Structure 1
């Protein structure tokens, strides 16, 4: 695996590089955002890890520009910003995951493996079930196309699509945040359940209405996907 890390904190880079060495990952480190973006465009990478605050060009702009170019490389964003609005912005700009500093290197490695797993499946030609049909949704796992009542939905981030697909596979089944992190993100719970909450809110905003929210909160437990009419109180 070849990973480009755009991070201006050399101590963080040294820590990541040490764990890359243990995992057999080939990492390249750039400390300036603009230089990192140009370096990204020079070669093909398996993963991009990018800091939010960078000299030259910030990480959010890098994510946005890469996604505008229709590049689907997995992106993990590193940042000291931990507010929900900041997290939403990073995810909306195309990051697949969001790691808040300070972070555990082991947790970062788990996330790297998780976000790359789906892309590796495509590269090896693994074929999954083509289409999932529910009352309101038609979801194609291979082409990553979503139809809602026959209308195409084109503004889902990669992880929003994954979460929708997983819920649609298990209608009315209640999942805790920890379960969703494990089964959709692919890593165990590390205290960042807000990641799930943010994605649920974004899916409700993009897909649901007041009469059809689709994603329901089960208080004290977690969430479920239910195409019934009214939100639970």
Structure 2
């Protein structure tokens, strides 16, 4: 098989639907591995690389939400598209909160599914080509030393940073110029044991503005995106 093919893990226990989806995805030139339950999905993820996972919610052995949560706890950034017969806003929010990138309810339009798959594949390719951060990162008059867990502010002051501050800075900078959702921050920085309020994350952003912005009321680098998340902008 071509090494350039995009690989998709399709997790769907309904045999007819899996066969139909697999066929249509392969017609779009994707390489598809199909499994029928949550346990097999986790095994497959651990054994090989996939560019995307399409994940049904109602699965035998282990449900899709639990699979999604487990994948994110392993710090795996694979884009996840959830398919679900559950169409309430609460179900959708739960799926996104547990780490899904997109949520599509059944029955769905095939063309819409393929469009969403294409969008998530592009995201996967951006992740794959993302350069790891150096131990030190400079922007404006500021310097962050990830190894020493400290920063030099715009005023030349050296400040020790908490572990959470370092993790949030790293996450935002790695995704520079892109909005990082509150859910993604929860997964990456706080894990699943503690859910901070939006105000808690806002306070971190306010601290970053105090350290790094020339004018904290009109930030250049650290932005809150109402109703969505937060963004680091590189000038």
TM-score normalized by the length of structure 1: 0.58
- Which string of whole-angstrom CA distances, capped at 9 and with x for unpartnered residues, describes residues 171-198 of structure 1? xxxxxxxxxxxxxxxxxxxxxxxxxxxx
User: Equivalent residue for 2:184?
Assistant: 157
Runs of 4+ in 1 over 3 A off after TM superposition: 138-142, 153-156, 203-209
Post-superposition Cα deviations, 1:17-75, rounded to whole Å, max 9, x if no partner, equal 12112110111111111122112211111111111010010000001011001000010
The answer for unaligned runs of 5 or more in structure 2 is: 1-5, 132-137, 140-168, 186-196, 204-223, 231-235
2:97 corresponds in structure 1 to: 92
Residues 125 and 139 (structure 1), Cα distance of their counterparts in 2 relative to 1, 3 Å cut: closer
1:61 is matched with which residue?
Answer: 66
2:125 is the counterpart of 1:115: no
Match of 2:33 in 1: 28
**Alignment check: 8 A CA contact 1:4 1:28 kept:** yes
Change (3 A) 1:206 1:21: farther
Give the direction of change, closer, same or farther, for the CA distance of 1:53–1:75 in structure 2 (3 Å limit): same
Report if the CA contact (8 A) 2:53-2:78 is conserved.
Answer: yes
The TM-score with structure 2 as length reference comes to 0.57
| Distance in 1 (alpha carbons) for counterparts of 2:201 and 2:225 | 8
Cα distance between partner residues in 2 of 1:154 and 1:215: 10
The 1:63–1:214 alpha-carbon spacing in structure 2 relative to 1, beyond 3 Å, is closer
- Per the alignment, residue 226 of structure 2 pairs with 215
Larger Rg, first or second structure (1 or 2) = 2
Tell me how many residue pairs correspond in the alignment.
162
Give the direction of change, closer, same or farther, for the CA distance of 1:205–1:53 in structure 2 (3 Å limit). Answer: farther
Say which of 26, 32, 43 aligns to 1:38. Answer: 43
**SS of residue matched to 2:183:** coil
Change (3 A) 1:103 1:206: farther
Q: CA deviation at 1:113?
A: 0.8
Query: 1:59 and 1:205, CA in 2 relative to 1: closer, same or farther beyond 3 A?
Result: farther
SS in 2 for 1:157: helix
Are 2:99 and 2:183, in contact at CA under 8 Å, matched by a contact in 1?
A: no
Q: 1:141 to 1:30 in 2, by over 3 A?
A: same
Of 117, 135, 144 in structure 1, the residue corresponding to residue 175 of structure 2 is 144
Cα distance in 2 for partners of 1:205, 1:84 equals 23
